[in-house]
Amino acid sequence: MEKCQLRVFIRRFDFTLEMFFIIKKQRNSLRNSNFSLITSDCTGGCVAKDLRVRMNSPTRNFYFNADDYIKFCKNLDYYLTLQPELYTGNYSGEGSEYLMASLGDLKMFLVHYLSVEQCRDEWIRRRERVNKDNLFFVMNDRNYCTEEDIKAFDELPYDNKVCFTHIRYPQYKSTYYISGSEKDDYLKSVMDYVHQWWIKRYYDQFDFVTWLNNGGSEWTQSL
């Protein structure tokens, strides 16, 4: 192995070891484990996996466009009674390369499902786990998200919510700025690694464990 490759390997190993202990500490610090993460994309599944807790929400392995996610949150009880069905509409926007399902009038982009049937089975199984007394809502400024959507999310009547954004929105208390996408039109996937040799992901900038333990929907960040 060349010296350069060896240095890269050692660096990556060191960061992997560091993240192992960080995640282990997070798992040990988590006091609230029976929560339901209602997310606009796959973030909730990744967080649950990191913390080794059961995913008590059906919002996993797919994503909503921002306006549909807001509608879903506003009418959560209603939409949880529905089941995903094969989408038969005419959609050619971003995400049209994915298998799509309908949840009533909402569009679901099945990024990690092989079939609508698989999505439906997982949806039915996980919706029964939703703890309506311990809800946490997570969205981001991807997937056609506008400032109006961010404002609408900020106004949702839920105690525990956060919207990850690629720029600062100090006027909306539930937004949390994630650095690294300032030159883009929206946030990079928060589940992506910051660098190919860096073990940390974008969402590691947010302290999920403290939030899940204490709740909250207002974030103050230093400039």
pLDDT tens figures, 69-78: 999 999 999 9
pLDDT value at position 94?
86
Radius of gyration of the chain (CA): 18
pLDDT value at position 151?
98
Q: Is residue 14 part of a domain?
A: no
pLDDT value at position 122?
97
pLDDT value at position 10?
45
Q: Is residue 1 part of a domain?
A: no
Question: Which residue shows structure tokens 């392995």?
Answer: 61
**Which range among 45-54, 57-66, 145-154 shows the weakest confidence by mean pLDDT?**
45-54
Q: Is residue 4 part of a domain?
A: no
Mean pLDDT over 60-67 rounds to 96
Mean pLDDT over 169-183 rounds to 93
Question: Which residue shows structure tokens 């996996």?
Answer: 49
pLDDT value at position 56?
96
pLDDT value at position 28?
83
pTM value? 0.87
Question: Environment class of residue 216 by beta-carbon count within 10 Å: exposed (0-12), middle (13-18) or buried (19+)?
Answer: middle
Mean pLDDT over 2-12 rounds to 52
Q: Is residue 222 part of a domain?
A: no
Q: Is residue 73 part of a domain?
A: yes
Higher pLDDT, 215 or 13: 215
Is residue 63 scored above 80 in pLDDT?
A: yes
How far is it, in rounded angstroms, from Cα 112 to Cα 62? 6
Mean pLDDT over 43-62 rounds to 93
Q: Is residue 13 part of a domain?
A: no
Range of the domain at 131: 20-214
pLDDT value at position 37?
97
Q: Which of 50, 25, 26 is nearest to 37 (CA)?
A: 50
Mean pLDDT over 185-214 rounds to 82
Q: Is residue 146 part of a domain?
A: yes
pLDDT value at position 92?
84
How far is it, in rounded angstroms, from Cα 82 to Cα 94? 25
pLDDT value at position 38?
98
Q: 216: phi > 0 → left, psi -120 to 50 → alpha, else beta; which?
A: left
How far is it, in rounded angstroms, from Cα 177 to Cα 150? 12
Q: Is residue 7 part of a domain?
A: no
Number of domains forming the structure of the chain: 1
Band of residue 87 on the pLDDT scale cut at 50, 70, 90: very high
Band of residue 117 on the pLDDT scale cut at 50, 70, 90: very high
Asked if 114 contacts 97 with a C-beta cutoff of 8 angstroms, the reply is no
